[in-house]
């Protein structure tokens, strides 16, 4: 059974029982918003997916422990400082943050997730952060989602938020909303990004974790800006059950599939916003791979092409250099066959069955000058497909990262 998904104007506050806030606590030198809070009226079923980088930030490690207990009620995030590679002091600061907020909200500290994003290796200005928590808590509001979305940004150029509503099989209308940050250090494998999704659906812990893991593999893990993965990345979901639907405990049930599609819609939307906002980017790149033998093969090719610096540079230069795309397909270790490969920009065929195609450079230029460039690849081997998203590689990317600490 399918259910119509409707986009609505909102974010993490779209789901019943959720509020949020965002303030400028003074952590950032720029005095821009740098402290965010998402709060549920009641403890919510929680799930999380975390960076695969072997170096992990202190707040992430603490949050992972809390998420593994199955419930969360609040998520606090600071930007401007990653609190990563800061030793025992970093762990202490993460614990202090959680304990201070727990006292302020009168909830169990184990119901709080904490995350940080920003410069690595610099001790967190903990007193500044703690002093901001009373105001952060006081300003919690059902309209505070955009403020929270703004407070988690670093080099992002715009806030990333989305909300939908969906009807479950018994007629109950449920809501999902999300905010995210990410602009640089983005690469398939849970990259430098934070994503927070809320829902009022009633769902078991195991079902929520399984759904999130599958969804992330088809959304956030399919984006690439620059090939770097961070120490702080996480995607968290809180589902508080305030929609009062019968508990979803089976992913293969009708409501299990409806929820999967709804969560995939939210995460894909946020992932594309992150890719579009890649540091210095001028356009979004979508790579569609079809004709694969397996889902794994399709993903390998899509990730290889979207991660190629040469492909990204060609897209920035509006150059229909299909050779760079073919090269990335070839080194993907996906077991492709050159004589069956087809490459196109939208519907403009460039390469087919091992041979280049004579194409109009004028039409190619027109397609490449769009704000979204679509590369279509057909492996000619099967019926599986996958999509990855990224952005072009521009001069501004180097400028931004050459002076990140200053």
Question: What are the catalytic residues?
Answer: 192
The distance between the two most distant Cα atoms of the chain, rounded to a whole number of Å, is 68
d(CA 285, CA 373): 5
Q: Closest Cα to residue 387, out of 179, 217, 234, 183?
A: 217
- Please say whether the beta carbons of 275 and 390 come within 8 A: yes
Name the residue with tokens 């089976």.
250
d(CA 18, CA 371): 35
Q: Please state the three-class secondary structure of 99-150 as a single string.
A: HHHHHHHCCCHHHEEEEEEEECCCCCCHHHHHHHHHHHHHCCECCCHHHHHH
Number of other CB atoms surrounding residue 252 within 10 Å: 7
Supply the DSSP string of 296-333, one letter for each residue: HHHHHHHHHHHH-HHHHHHHHTT---HHHHHHHHHTT-
Helix (H, G, I), strand (E, B) or coil at 261: helix
């Amino acid at each position: 059974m399918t259910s119509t998904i409707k986009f609505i104007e909102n974010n993490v506050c779209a789901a019943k029982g959720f509020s949020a806030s965002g303030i400028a606590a003074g952590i950032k030198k720029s005095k821009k918003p740098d402290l965010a809070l998402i709060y549920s009226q009641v403890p919510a079923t929680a799930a999380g997916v975390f960076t695969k980088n072997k170096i992990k930030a202190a707040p992430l490690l603490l949050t992972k422990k809390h998420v593994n207990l199955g419930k969360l009620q609040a998520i606090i995030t600071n930007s401007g400082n990653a609190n990563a590679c800061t030793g025992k002091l970093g762990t202490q600061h993460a614990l202090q943050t959680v304990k201070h907020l727990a006292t302020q909200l009168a909830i169990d500290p184990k119901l709080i997730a904490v995350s940080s994003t920003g410069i690595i290796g610099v001790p967190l200005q903990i007193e500044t952060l703690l002093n901001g928590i009373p105001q952060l808590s006081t300003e919690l509001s059902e309209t505070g989602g955009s403020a929270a979305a703004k407070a988690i940004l670093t080099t992002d150029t715009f806030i990333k938020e989305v909300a939908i509503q969906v009807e479950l099989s018994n007629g109950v209308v449920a809501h999902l909303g999300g905010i995210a940050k990410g602009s640089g250090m983005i690469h398939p494998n849970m990259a430098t990004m934070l994503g927070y999704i809320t829902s009022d659906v009633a769902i078991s812990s195991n079902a929520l974790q399984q759904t999130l893991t599958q969804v992330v593999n088809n959304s956030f893990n399919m984006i690439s800006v620059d090939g770097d993965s961070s120490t702080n990345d996480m995607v968290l979901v809180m589902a508080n059950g305030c929609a009062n639907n019968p508990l979803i405990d089976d992913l293969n049930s009708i409501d299990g599939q409806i929820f999967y599609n709804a969560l995939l819609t939210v995460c894909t939307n946020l992932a594309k916003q992150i890719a579009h906002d890649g540091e210095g980017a001028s356009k979004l790149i979508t790579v569609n791979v079809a004709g694969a033998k397996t889902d794994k093969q399709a993903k390998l090719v899509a990730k290889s092409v979207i991660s190629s610096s040469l492909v990204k540079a060609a897209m920035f230069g509006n150059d229909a250099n299909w050779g760079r795309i073919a090269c990335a397909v070839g080194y993907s270790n996906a077991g492709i066959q050159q004589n069956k490969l087809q490459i196109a920009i939208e519907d403009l065929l460039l390469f087919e069955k091992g041979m280049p195609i004579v194409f109009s450079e004028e039409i190619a230029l027109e397609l490449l000058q769009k704000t979204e460039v679509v590369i279509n690849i057909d492996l000619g081997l099967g019926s599986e497909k996958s999509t990855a998203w990224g952005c072009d590689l521009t001069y501004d990317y180097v400028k931004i990262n050459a002076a990140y600490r200053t």
